[in-house]
A and B are shown apart, each in its own frame.
Chain A
Amino acid sequence: MSLLTRNVVRTLVQASSRNIHSTGALNTSKPEGRVTCTLIPGDGVGPELIYSVQEVFKAVSVPVDFEPFFLSEVNPVLSSPLENVVASIKKNRICLKGILATPDFSRTGELQTLNMKLRNELDLYANVVHVASLPGVKTRHQNIDTVVIREQTEGEYSALEHETIPGVVECLKVITETKSLRIAKFAFDYAVKHNRKKVTCVHKANIMKLGDGLFLKSCEAMAKLYPTIEFEKMIVDNTTMQLVSNPQQFDVMVAPNLYGNIIDNLASGLVGGAGVVSGASYSAEHVVYEPGARHTFSEAVGKNVANPTAMLLCASKMLRHINLLHYSQQIYGAIQNVLKDGKVRTKDLGGNATTDEFTKAVIYNLK
Chain B
Amino acid sequence: MALRFLKHSSEIVAPALKRNFCSAYELQHKNPIQRKIVYVPKAQYGGRHTVTMLPGGGIGSELMNYVREIFRYCGVPVDFEIIDIDPNSETNDDLEYAITSIKRNGVGIKGNIETKSEQTGIISRNVAIRNELDLFVSVVNCKSYPGVRSHHQNVDLVVIRQNTEGEYAMLEHESVKGVVESMKIITEEASERLSRYAFEFARRNGRKKVTTIHKANIMKLSDGCFLETSRKVAKDYPDIKHNDMIIDNTCMQLVSNPQQFDVLLTTNLYGSITSNVICGLIGGAGLLSGRNYGDHYAVFEPGTRNTGSTIAGKNIANPFAMLNAAVDMLNHLGHTQHANAIADAMYETIVTDKIHTADLGGTASSTDCIQNILKHLDGKNISW
A residues in contact (CB < 8 Å) with B: 3, 7, 10-11, 14, 18-25, 28-33, 35, 93-94, 126, 178, 181-182, 185-186, 188-190, 192-193, 225-228, 280, 282-287, 321-324
Check B43 against A30 for contact (C-beta < 8 Å). no
- List, in ascending order, chain A residues with CB within 8 A of B379's CB: 31
| Given A29-B73, A321-B48, A323-B75: 15 more A-B contacts, CB < 8 Å | A30-B75, A31-B380, A33-B381, A35-B383, A93-B47, A185-B40, A185-B43, A193-B50, A193-B81, A225-B100, A225-B103, A228-B97, A282-B46, A285-B47, A323-B72
Which residues does chain B contribute within 8 Å of A228, judged by CB atoms? 97
Most buried by A among B46, B83, B90: B46
Given that A21-B68, A29-B73, A30-B73 are contacting pairs, would A284 and B44 also be in contact in the complex, using a CB cutoff of 8 Å? yes
Count B interface residues, CB 8 Å: 40
Closest B residue by C-beta to A126: B45
Q: Are B72 and A286 in contact (CB under 8 A)?
A: no
Chain A residues with Cβ under 8 A from B68's Cβ?
21, 23
| Distance of A178 from chain B, by nearest CB (Å) | 8
CB-CB nearest in chain A for B45: A282
Provide the bound-state CA to CA distance between A174 and B91, in Å. 44
Bound Cα distance from A24 to B104, whole angstroms:
23
Our pick among A7, A188, A192 for the contact of B93 (Cβ within 8 Å) is A7
- Nearest CB of chain A from residue B18's CB, rounded to whole Å: 13
A25 CB to closest chain B CB (Å) equals 5
Q: Which residues of chain B in 85-143 are interfacial with respect to chain A, using CB atoms and an 8 Å cutoff? A: 86, 90-91, 93, 97, 100, 103-104
Q: Which single member of A22, A33, A188, A282 contacts B382 (CB below 8 Å)?
A: A33
| B378 within 8 A of partner (CB) | yes
Is A286 in contact with B47, judged by CB distance below 8 angstroms? yes
A140 CA / B68 CA spacing, docked (Å): 43
Partner of A25, one of B43, B72, B83, B384: B72
**Contact of B189 with A by CB under 8 A:** no
A23 touches B72 (CB 8 A): yes
B 269-285 binary contact with A (CB < 8 Å = 1; else 0): 00000000000000000
Beyond A21-B68, A33-B381, A33-B383, whether A186 also contacts B45 by CB under 8 A is yes
Given A31-B381, A33-B382, A323-B384, the answer on whether A192 and B72 have CB atoms closer than 8 Å is: no
Q: Could you list 25 A-B pairs, sorted by A, with CB under 8 Å?
A: A3-B91, A14-B97, A21-B68, A21-B80, A31-B377, A31-B379, A31-B380, A31-B381, A32-B381, A33-B381, A126-B45, A182-B41, A185-B43, A185-B104, A188-B104, A189-B45, A193-B79, A193-B81, A225-B40, A227-B100, A228-B97, A284-B45, A287-B46, A321-B46, A322-B77
Tell me which residues across on chain A come within 8 A of B81, comparing CB atoms: 18, 20, 192-193
**How many angstroms between the C-alpha atoms of A192 and B82 in the bound complex?**
11
Residues of chain B within 8 A (CB-CB) of A284 are 42, 44-47
Which of A282, A285, A322 contacts B75 (CB under 8 A)?
A322
Q: For residue A25, which residues in chain B have a CB less than 8 angstroms away from its CB?
A: 72
Q: Tell whether, in the assembled complex, residue A28 and residue B72 are in contact, meaning their CB atoms are under 8 Å apart.
A: yes
- B78 contacts chain A at the CB level, 8 A cutoff: yes
Contact yes or no, B73 A24, CB < 8 A: no
Distance in Å: Cβ of A322 to nearest Cβ of chain B: 4
Q: Does B158 interact with chain A (Cβ within 8 Å)?
A: no
CB-nearest residue of chain B relative to A221?
B38
A29's closest neighbor in chain B, by CB? B73
**Contact indicator A20/B382 (Cβ below 8 Å):** no
Question: Measured between C-beta atoms, what is the minimum distance from A149 to chain B in Å?
Answer: 11
Question: Is B74 at the interface (CB under 8 A from chain A)?
Answer: yes
Q: Say yes or no: A226 contacts B72, CB within 8 Å.
A: no
Question: Cβ of B43 and Cβ of A189 under 8 Å apart?
Answer: yes
B72 to chain A, nearest CB (A): 5
Q: Is B261 an interface residue (CB 8 A)?
A: no
Q: Smallest CB–CB gap between A15 and chain B, Å?
A: 10
In the bound complex, CA of A23 to CA of B41 (Å): 23
Residues on the B chain within 8 Å of A287, using CB: 45-47
Distance between Cα atoms of A188 and B292 in the complex (Å):
26
The listed residue (B50, B93, B380) touching A20 by CB distance below 8 A is B50
Asked if residues A22 and B79 are in contact (CB atoms below 8 Å), the reply is yes
B71: Cβ under 8 A from any A Cβ: yes
Chain B residue contacts of A178, Cβ below 8 A: 41
Q: Are A24 and B82 in contact (CB under 8 A)?
A: no
The reply on B76 being an interface residue by CB < 8 A is yes
Interface residues of B in 289-324 (CB under 8 A from A): none
- In the bound assembly, the distance between CA atoms of A362 and B76 in angstroms comes to 30
Decide: A21 near B42, CB < 8 A? Known: A31-B73, A185-B104.
Answer: no
Q: Which residues of A contact B72 (CB under 8 A)?
A: 23-25, 28, 323
Quick one: which of B50, B73, B384 contacts A35, CB cutoff 8 A? Answer: B384
Inter-chain CA distance A246–B176, complex, in Å, is 67
With both chains docked as a complex, state the minimum distance between the C-beta of A93 and any C-beta of chain B, in angstroms.
Answer: 5
- B380 CB contacts on chain A under 8 angstroms: 31
10 interchain residue pairs of minimum CB distance? A287-B46, A323-B75, A322-B384, A182-B41, A282-B46, A23-B71, A284-B44, A23-B72, A282-B45, A93-B47
